[in-house]
Amino acid sequence: LTPTEGTVNVKMQSVGRFRSKRSCIGLVSPYLQMYDEFSAKENLRLALAIRGVAASDSPIDEMLERVFLHDRRNDPVRTFSSGMKQRMKYAFALIHQPPILILDEPTANLDDEGIGMVRQIMKQQLPNGILLVATNDLSDIDTFDMQIDLNVKN
């Protein structure tokens, strides 16, 4: 989408000046799909390649540790539970260290360990960039300093 007016700046730079706009955004959404036949590691290699980032094992392994999937790094994503797939979406969104992170229903399908992981990711993102969260779960927004309620009543 081309904006009709206004600009988005991240760290005093217009997003339009980024070499690839894909490199400045990470997205976690229920509708985000992985390649089920690929392993967790292969999916992250692809995520980096799409964004024009050279892939090496070290950052991929570190990311899989961060989302508690390192032990399953070589398993096809089709063998993952819904919670594991949700954690994989976080790895996909964060692997390139984007300054803008967009989370749609961030704790959906996650167990307590996964919810703790998401809360930690949110806390780390807040001072380092922009975090946009769309949620119906009020416990997801406890740590934010600004909230916009879009609950329109007729």
Taking the mean position of all CA atoms in its chain, how far away is CA 100? 9
**Residue 27 in domain:** yes
Per-residue confidence (pLDDT) for residue 62, from 0 to 100 = 94
**Residue 57 in domain:** yes
pLDDT in tens, 85-111: 999 999 999 998 888 899 999 888 889
CATH number at residue 27: 3.40.50.300
pLDDT in tens, 37-90: 999 999 999 998 888 888 788 899 999 999 999 999 999 999 999 999 999 999
**Residue 147 in domain:** no
CB distance 21 to 12 below 8 Å = no
Domain extent for 18: 9-141
Instruction: Retrieve residue 11's tokens.
Output: 């760290």
Buried b (16+ CB within 10 A) or exposed e, 32-43: eebeeeebbbbb
Categorise residue 144: left if φ over 0, alpha if ψ from -120 to 50, beta otherwise.
beta
Q: Where are the alpha helices (DSSP H) in 51-132?
A: 57-66, 82-94, 112-125
Taking the mean position of all CA atoms in its chain, how far away is CA 1? 20
pLDDT in tens, 64-78: 999 999 999 999 999
Residues in the chain, total:
154
**Residue 2 in domain:** no
**Residue 146 in domain:** no
**Residue 77 in domain:** yes
The CA radius of gyration of the chain, in Å to the nearest whole number, is 16
How many structural domains compose the chain? 1
Q: What does the pLDDT average to over 10-16? A: 61
